Amino acid sequence: MVITAAGTALPDTSAPTSVVDLAGRAARGALARARVSASSIGVLINVGVYREHNTFEPAMSALVQKEVGINLDYIADPEPAAGFSFDLMNGACGVLNAVQVGQALLDTGSTERLLITAADVHPGGDADRDTGYPYADLAGALLLERSADPHAGFGPVRHYTADRPTDVEGYLDTDTMGRHGRTTITVRREPGHAERLSAFAASAAADYAQEIGIDLDRTLVIGPSAGASPSASPSPPASPSAGASADAAAVRGEPHTAAPVLGYLQAMDGVRRDDHDQILFVSVGAGPSAACALYRPEGW
């Protein structure tokens, strides 16, 4: 299973930020780069966590599916096909969880193409106005399909759990929310959590490399802080020629569920094929939990 195309999207400052709009724009960008129609997508998996107004139902995936125009009427469509979508929520590890599900769906022939969307938006619609909220309003999308190259694509996805309580969590504080609960969120992170998560991510990557048998010196690692600078200032740009949105340079805050997508686009923009044999995705978040997945682009 290979990444055919990827895309990112940032808020339109002229309108309130919507997770459905962001995910839809990232998805349409990926489809446009791959030059495939929305009706060719058999399954959409949405892994975003934070939404405007703390929306819980209906499933965001169904709204994103409608926004992208994926098989809205499989009887009347010129290319009749049934489309299926669902939410899969596991925080920062969501994209790799969706990759694991996607491998099973493509291996069994349940679909020929699969779309993963990851979008986070502050419940109040503007992350910049909440100094206690660390994440960027950002969306990413991956278009996946089977490859004829037996040496390309994703390897196994592995999950790891740390033997200690979580030190980061996001929740709605019902004791203090008052009448503004739909537009507020509390993100609690203990001092030093970033260093502990980084150490956990490194440990998970080392365990994965030993289990799968890969040389980390020849591996490009896309880690949990992909797309974010140490000061949480705007991240360096990903070239539009690599598949990223032109406005990716304006990311403010820390990428959350979309971090693997942004990291992949930035990595592919500057990677030297002669320096690496493969890519290793590493995600880590609340739990504490981590996920790792090997990936070889076609032609490597």
Per-residue model confidence as pLDDT tens digits over 152-191 = 999 999 999 988 888 888 877 776 666 666 777 878 888 8
Q: Which residue type is seen at 25?
A: R
Of the candidates 40, 32, 105, which has an alpha carbon nearest to the alpha carbon of residue 70?
Answer: 40
Structure tokens at 137: 């309003």
Could you tell me if 186 and 272 lie in one domain? yes
Could you tell me if 147 and 215 lie in one domain? no
User: Domain containing 283 — which CATH number?
Assistant: 3.40.47.10
Count of domains for the chain: 2
Cα 10 from Cα 26, distance rounded (Å): 9
Of the candidates 29, 49, 116, which has an alpha carbon nearest to the alpha carbon of residue 255?
Answer: 49
- The domain of 15 spans 2-151
Cα 239 from Cα 245, distance rounded (Å): 8
Could you tell me if 276 and 250 lie in one domain? yes
Could you tell me if 246 and 133 lie in one domain? no
Which of left, alpha, beta for 253 (phi over 0: left; psi -120 to 50: alpha)? Answer: left
Q: What is the pLDDT along the chain (300 residues), one digit of tens a residue?
A: 999 999 999 988 777 788 999 999 999 999 999 999 998 999 999 999 988 877 777 889 999 999 999 988 767 766 666 789 999 999 999 999 999 999 999 989 888 899 999 999 988 877 778 888 888 999 999 999 999 898 999 999 999 998 888 888 887 777 666 666 677 787 888 888 888 989 999 999 999 999 999 999 999 999 887 555 433 333 333 333 334 443 445 677 889 999 999 999 998 887 777 789 999 999 998 889 999 999 999 988
Could you tell me if 40 and 135 lie in one domain? yes
In b/e form, how buried is each residue of 127-158, taking b as 16+ CB within 10 angstroms? Answer: beebeebbbbbbbbbbbbbbbeeeebbbbebb
DSSP class of residue 234 equals P
Domain boundary residue, one of 117, 151, 185 = 151
What 3-state class would DSSP assign to 163? coil
pTM, entire model: 0.87
